[in-house]
Amino acid sequence: VRPAVSVDAGSVDQSDPVSMVFRKLPGVSASGMGLRLSQKFVFLLFLSGLVTLCFGALFFLPDSVRLKRIFLDRKPVVSREATEERLAGGKALEDLSLSRSRAESVSERATVVDHHGADTDTFSYAKFKRCLLKPPLGRDYGKPSDPNTNERREKVKEMMKFAWDNYKLYAWGKNELRPLTRNGHLGNMFGGLKGASIIDSLDTLYIMGLMDEYNDAKEWVQTSLDLNSNGEASLFEVNIRYVGGLLSAYYLTGEEVFKSKVLELGEKLLPAFNTPTGIPRGVINLGSGTSWSWGWASAGSSILAEFGTLHLEFVHLSELSANPIYTEKVMNIRKLLNKIEKPHGLYPNFLSPVSGNWVQHHVSIGGLGDSFYEYLIKSFLMSDKTDGDAKKMYYSALEAIEANLVQKSPGGLTYMAEWRGGILDHKMGHLACFSGGMIGIGADDGVPEKRQHYLDLAAEITHTCHESYTRSATKLGPEAFRFDGGGEATATRLSDRYYILRPEVIESYMYMWRLTHDPKYREWGWEAVEALEQHCRVEAGFSGIRDVYTTTASHDNMQQSFFLSETLKYLYLLFSDDDLLPLEDWVFNTEAHPLPIIRKSCLQDEKQHEM
C-alpha cells in the first residue's frame, strides 16, 4: 500500500485520463487511490461502456425523438414549453423569447451577407420580366374576341368596382366591409393589421385595368399600411392574404413599395417557426414574436392546411430578399412531413409542433387539410418543374386520396369523403371544391397512363360541385353537402346551409375552362354571376347569405376580402382570353394571388449576360 500523498500538476501523468479524472475530484489523490495500470484500464473500459450505453438508450426510449432533439439537435429546450402547454391548456406560449428570435434573425441576415459578400444577388425586376415566357397581361388585357363573353367579363368588372367602391366609401382602411350596416369590420385574424380588402384587391384591380382604384390602393399601402401592430394574427391568413397579395402586386407592377413592405412583414413571421420541430404554431403576435397554438386545436397541435400553406410565398420571400432563411423554414416542414409515417399514405390534419407526431387521424381535402395538397403541386409547378420532392409527395398523396376518400354516389356523383381513423364521413365541404382545379392542373405531369384519368376525375369533381349549386333554390352552393341520409350533394344540416361568397367552385370552373375549353364551364360561371347578383348584391356591396335553399334572403352582413381577391378574379379570368396571367408563367396562391414561376436557369443566364 502506497501512502496517500497530495498531488500537484507536476506529479500527475497528463496523458493518463484516469489520473486526470481523480485529480479533478477535490481531496482525492490519483496516486493515492492505489490503482494499478491494469485496474485503471478496466475502470476506463467500464466508464466508456457506461457512457455508450446511456447514449444508445436515447434511441430506444419511448419518447426518444424528443430526447434526441434535446441532446443532439441543440433545439430550444422542450421542458418549459411542455409545462406551459399543460398550464395553458393547449395555448402553449412560445418557448423562445423575442430577443432570441430577433437576434437569430439578425444573425441569419448577417450570414446571408457573409455568404454572398459583395456579390449579394439583389433581385432584379427587369431580369425577372425577361424570364417570363409571355406578357403577364396578354396582348390586350385578355380581352375576349367574342362580344357575348366580353359583355360577361364587363359585368364581372362592374361587380368588382361596386364591391370596391362601397368598401372605400364605408370601410376604408378596415379589413372588410359590412354592407348592411355600412361600416367596417376589423376582426381578430390579422393581428391588428388593417386593410385586408385593400391588399387582397391590389392585383384584381390591376388586371381588370381599374387603375384609379388600384392607385388609391397603392397609395394606402404607401401611407397607411402599418406593420408595427402588436396583436395576435393567424400565420396562415396573414401569409396567404398579406404576403401573397403584396408579392403579386410587386411582381405585376414592379413597385418597390410592395417589395419593401412584404419583406418587412415576412421577417415578422419568422419567430413562429421557433418550435422544437420547426413546425410553426397557428397564432403569432406580430409585435413580440410570441406564438401559440389555436385553443380549439387538439393538444396544442398545428393545422396541416396552415403550416402546409406557406411554401409558395416563403420561397418568393427568399427570392426577393436573397435570404435563404424563408426557404429553409418551409423546406424543414416539407422534410418532416416526408419523413413521418402516414396512415394509409394519408396526411392527418393535426400535428404536434413539439413532438412532430400526428395528433388525430382526421383527414380532409376540405377545411384543415385543403391547401396543403394544393401547395404540393403548385410548389412543383412554381419551381419550373424542378422540385421533385413536391411532385412525388403530391402524386402519392393523390393516390392515397383516390384509394381512401374518393367515392361515387348511387346517383353517379364523384365526391371526396372525409376520413376519421378509417371511418368515412360522406360529406364534402365547399372548401374541398378547389380540388377539381387542383387535380386538373396536376394532370399533365402525372404518369402518362393516368393523365386522362386525372383530367376526368377533375371534371367529375367539378361537376359534383356544380350540382351542389344547381340543387339549391338560390343556385349558390352550401358550406357543406352530404351523400348520406337519402340526399346527394345537398346540405342536410341547418348549420351547413350558408354561403359566404366563397370562390372554390368558380376556381375549379376557371381551371377546367383553361384546360379543356369546354363552354359549359363559362356557362356555369355565368350562372354563378347571376345568382350572386340576385341573392348576394345588396345596396352597399355584396353579402354572404345564411341559407342557400331559400330565396327569401337572410344576409350575413359581410363582404369577405376573398370575394374581391378570388371569387371575382376567377370569374374575370374565366371570361378572359388565356393570355391574361398565362398558366405557363403564373401559379395562384390559395388566395388567388398570382406568383411567377421561378426559372432559375434563365435568371442565371441573364446574370451572366449582365457581367
CB of 429 to ligand DMJ, least distance (A): 10
Shortest distance in whole angstroms from residue 502 CB to ligand DMJ: 4
Q: Distance between CA 227 and CA 448 in Å, rounded?
A: 47
* Touching ligand DMJ, residues 541-570 (CB under 6 A): 562, 566
Assess whether 402 carries a catalytic annotation: no
Can you tell me the distance from the alpha carbon of 176 to that of 196, in angstroms, rounded to the nearest whole number? 7
**CA–CA gap between residue 391 and residue 397 (Å, rounded):** 10
Concerning whether 444 is annotated as a catalytic residue, the answer is no
| φ, ψ at 568 (rounded to 5°) | -75, -35
Site string for ligand DMJ, 485-504 (x = CB under 6 A): -----------------xx-
Closest distance to ligand DMJ from the beta carbon of 465 (Å)? 13
CB of 609 vs ligand DMJ, minimal distance in Å: 39
Residue number, 371 or 462, with CB nearest to ligand DMJ:
371
CB of 374 to ligand DMJ, least distance (A): 8
Nearest to ligand DMJ of 94, 566 (CB atom): 566
Q: Which is nearer to ligand DMJ, 291 or 371 (CB)?
A: 371
| Least spacing, CB of residue 390 vs ligand DMJ, in Å | 18
- CA 366 vs. chain centroid, Å, equals 14
Residues 170 and 184: their CA atoms lie apart, in Å, by 6
| β-bridge pairing 586-588 and 594-596 | antiparallel
What are the residues whose beta carbons fall under 8 Å from the beta carbon of 299, sequence distance 6 or more? 90, 350, 352, 359
Looking at residues 398 to 437 of the shown chain, list those that interact with ligand DMJ (rule: CB under 6 A): 431
Contact between residue 544 and residue 469 where contact means Cβ atoms under 8 Å apart = no
Compute the least distance from the CB of residue 204 to ligand DMJ, in Å.
14
Q: Which of 85, 370, 374, 566 is catalytic?
A: 370
How far is the C-alpha of 530 from the C-alpha of 58, rounded, in Å?
Answer: 64
* 504 included as an active-site residue: yes
CA distance 364 to 353: 20
Helices (H) and strands (E) in the chain, counts: 24, 19
327 is in an annotated binding site: no
* C-alpha–C-alpha distance, residues 42 and 19, integer Å: 14
Using the rule CB under 6 A, which residue among 320, 590, 595, 596 binds ligand DMJ? 590
Nearest CB to ligand DMJ, comparing residues 22 and 347 = 347
| 104 classed as catalytic | no
CB neighbours of 565 closer than 8 A, spacing ≥ 6?
Answer: 200, 201, 203, 204, 241, 245, 591, 592, 593
Nearer to ligand DMJ, 96 or 564 (CB): 564
Please pick, among 81, 200, 418, 479, the residue that the annotation labels catalytic. 479
**How many residues comprise the chain?**
611
Q: Which of 232, 467, 504, 591 is catalytic?
A: 504
Which residue's C-beta sits nearest to ligand DMJ?
A: 590
Name which of 431 and 529 has its Cβ closer to ligand DMJ. 431
Q: Please report how close the Cβ of residue 566 comes to ligand DMJ at its closest, in angstroms.
A: 6
Burial classification of residue 54, based on how many CB atoms lie within 10 Å of its CB (0-12 exposed, 13-18 middle, 19 or more buried): exposed
Instruction: Report how far residue 218's alpha carbon sits from residue 210's, in angstroms, rounded to the nearest whole number.
Output: 12
Distance CA 177, CA 186 (A): 9
Within 419-502, residue ranges assigned H as helices are 435-442, 451-470
Non-local (6+) Cβ contacts of 314 within 8 A are 239, 266, 326, 327, 329, 330
Which of 237, 313, 319, 547 is catalytic? The answer is 237
Instruction: Output the CA torsion sign for 41, 47, 53, 55.
Output: negative
- Does 371 bind ligand DMJ (CB under 6 A)? Our answer is yes
Number of residues engaging ligand DMJ in binding (CB under 6 A): 8
Please name the helix (run of DSSP H) or strand (run of DSSP E) that holds residue 429, with its range, or none: strand 427-429
Binding mask 278-317 for ligand DMJ (x = CB under 6 A): ----------------------------------------
The residue among 488 and 591 lying less far from ligand DMJ, judged by its C-beta, is 591
Given the complex with ligand DMJ, which of 23 and 378 has the nearer CB atom?
378
By the criterion CB under 6 A, which residues form the site for ligand DMJ?
A: 371, 431, 502-503, 562, 566, 590-591
Q: Which residues are annotated as a binding site?
A: 590
Q: Which residues are annotated as a binding site for Ca(2+)?
A: 590
Question: Which positions are catalytic?
Answer: 237, 370, 479, 504
